[in-house]
Structure 1
């Protein structure tokens, strides 16, 4: 879709779909309309995720790509954090209807900024509509990069999904447990762009991915086994975001400008397909063993798989370079 109609037009269509979906949920309380609104808005959100990632890569490939990707993906947890602060207050003060209106207002602001402010780089404009072909090796590399992103996010989601329950099992109140685990989210808002900056500054993005995932995994295991919960939670928040920007910069290493749209489509297809499976496995383990710590241990395991997949990704990239520059 992006290659056919252009990146900016597709993103604007995605924002419009999100707005239509939100307005459907605002104007009708019926179950069918609520489901339809969520499906339409979700479709728009997927268009945004795929195309805007490609647009960031168009601007920053060969420059501060890890920092740019880190700032881009950081908008998700920061947006959630702001929503958790503002929307309950709006709902308590003015009612649920105004909550939906506020969300629609934010979508309109995004639509206006994209329509009036964003400009594509000249090279991207010249490449729009051109058909590039993905080699099998490139597809494998994109799938590997997406698998790393998927497993990393599964590990992160285990903290937010099962961390509070784990603390409740240890005698904490639900309010205290939720507030304590939320520290991870706030600190991640700092550690994500910091990790991207370090990856670009040191040119050691892969080392940051490996070290970050291993440290994150070890702290996750320690969280359910130590009484020093608050220091460990702070350490998790400081470490967990470091690999994000470097991971998201991996596809740009193998995708040409003409193939980024379809390549990022593959990337997000693997990510969206794998994420719910990982969450379901974590929930199943927690229920079968009878402890939320089992889900955290599962998160640690998948984080430790990320460096192994990164090794596979490096092998593919090295093979592509040998083909591009054959020895004589």
Structure 2
């Protein structure tokens, strides 16, 4: 059993990476899923958003459940749910079973997302917490990038079932590693204390939650419908996945840089506005100048990433230590609601227009809306 916190970070990073990999599988394999199940982009958007649906129910009570039964047990159960859902998806040719499996996967993923951040803080509080958190957050874009790059290759080589079972094996490996090597740090006790009744600035917190939710939904439009758009413009599935994967690779590299710049300059809002406005105005260029698609993906992979860290600090601007637990539950509930609805909305627009580019335009609109929410957030905190 290890007490090396950096090895613990690697374990948590890998587990969360498999969650990102599993989430992104639908978008990465979307052309094959559309062919296999006879569905359109609206249904693809529904499946993408469905992964986040359980968060509406588990974001608030998740911490309390873990406090009662233990972080490790609940995260282990989450990984088992991801495996169960993955099994259902891999063996089915039924749309209803696919939907059920996706929901079960998402339930496990939500458990990981809510609890493992707390587990990381347990290990790094007061010791390189910013560095550790930046590395940990990067597990999401890295997992998405790998899914976009590898799953189409696996599907082309051995069929869609081969891709699903490879993903299942990845999650199984995460479960085994987590079960064998993770433990809570010394001095961390499980408590069943009830949350105090506290008040918080709900208007400002709601706006902060909307900034984060719209930011992530705009990002989801890229890795969810970017491959479909590029295939529509003449790229092969593998090439389209590679280009979108490059966006996520650059995103993962630039993500911690935004936080560093914001901390050193004190211009947090300026960094966020740069990210949101550049996305809102540059992403539509891909629709009207397809030859510039690779350039735009590369530029925005860097610029859009800069705002992620600063946006995540917004709740801390309005929450007191006593209100932080409940307040962050509200914050993440808003995130999950929007992330469930957003991809379905984007996919529905794309289907109605017969053009995957409409989902990208929706993402640009969401990014602009996030900038507006940030403006009102600051007014609410004055």
| TM-score w.r.t. length of structure 2 | 0.68
Change (3 A) 1:250 1:22: same
Does structure 1 residue 6 correspond to structure 2 residue 67?
Answer: yes
Q: Unaligned 5+ residue runs, structure 1? A: 319-328
Alpha-carbon distance in 1 for matches of 2:342, 2:333: 15
- 1:144 corresponding residue in structure 2: 207
- Residue pair 2:148, 2:244 contacting (<8 A) in 1 also: no
1:314 has 2:378 as partner: yes
Residue number in structure 1 paired with 2:77: 16
Structure 2: how far apart are the matches of 1:204 and 1:63? 25
Shift in Å at residue 67 of structure 1? Answer: 5.9
Q: Deviations over 1:166-197 (max 9, x none)?
A: 33333333333332222111111111122122
Counterpart of 2:196 in 1: which secondary structure? Answer: coil
1:81 to 127, 139, 145: 145
Deviation at 1:244, TM superposition (A): 0.8
Measured in 2, the distance between the counterparts of 1:129 and 1:11 equals 18
Task: Name which of structure 1's ranges 53-62 and 139-148 shifts more when overlaid on structure 2.
Answer: 53-62
State the match for 1:109 in structure 2: 177
- 1:254 and 1:288 map into 2 onto residues whose CA distance is 41
- Look up the match of 1:325: none
Instruction: Identify the residue that residue 360 of structure 2 maps to in structure 1.
Output: 296
Q: Is contact 1:68–1:196 with CA below 8 Å preserved after alignment? A: no
Query: Does structure 2 conserve the Cα–Cα contact (< 8 Å) formed by 1:20 and 1:40?
Result: yes
2:344 maps to 280
Render the CA deviation track for 1:132-182: whole Å, top value 9, x for unaligned.
334251x33332222111111121122222323333333333333332222
Residue 265 (structure 2) pairs with residue 265 (structure 1): no
Within a 5 Å distance, the mapping from 1:164-313 to structure 2 comes to: 164-226=227-289, 227-313=291-377
Q: Which of the numbers 167, 180, 196 marks the counterpart of 1:132?
A: 196
CA contact (8 A) 1:22 1:37 kept: no
Using a 3 Å threshold, how does the CA distance of structure 1 residues 102 and 5 change in structure 2: closer, same or farther?
A: closer
Conserved? CA contact 2:75–2:116, under 8 Å:
no
Paired position in structure 2 for 1:47: 111
Q: Distance in 1 between matches of 2:237 and 2:149?
A: 18
Q: What runs of 5+ residues in structure 2 fail to find an aligned partner?
A: 1-60
**1:215-250, Cα deviation, whole Å (9 max, x unpaired):** 122220222222222222211111121111111122
CA RMSD of aligned residues (A): 3.7
Corresponding residue pairs, total: 313
Q: For the residues of structure 2 that align with 1:265 and 1:48, how far apart are their CA atoms?
A: 14
2:284 partner SS? helix
Separation (CA, whole Å) in 2 of partners of 1:310 and 1:210: 8
- Is residue 57–residue 65 contact of structure 1 (8 Å, CA) maintained in 2? yes
In 2, Cα distance between the equivalents of 1:5 and 1:42?
18
Q: What residue is the counterpart of 1:153 in the other structure?
A: 216
Q: Which residue of 2 aligns with 1:119?
A: 185
* CA deviation after TM superposition for structure 1 residue 200, in Å: 2.2
Going from structure 1 to structure 2, the CA distance change for 1:126 and 1:284 (only over 3 Å counts) comes to: closer
Larger Rg: 1
TM (normalized to structure 1)? 0.78
Is the Cα–Cα contact under 8 Å of residues 86 and 105 in structure 2 kept in the other structure?
Answer: no
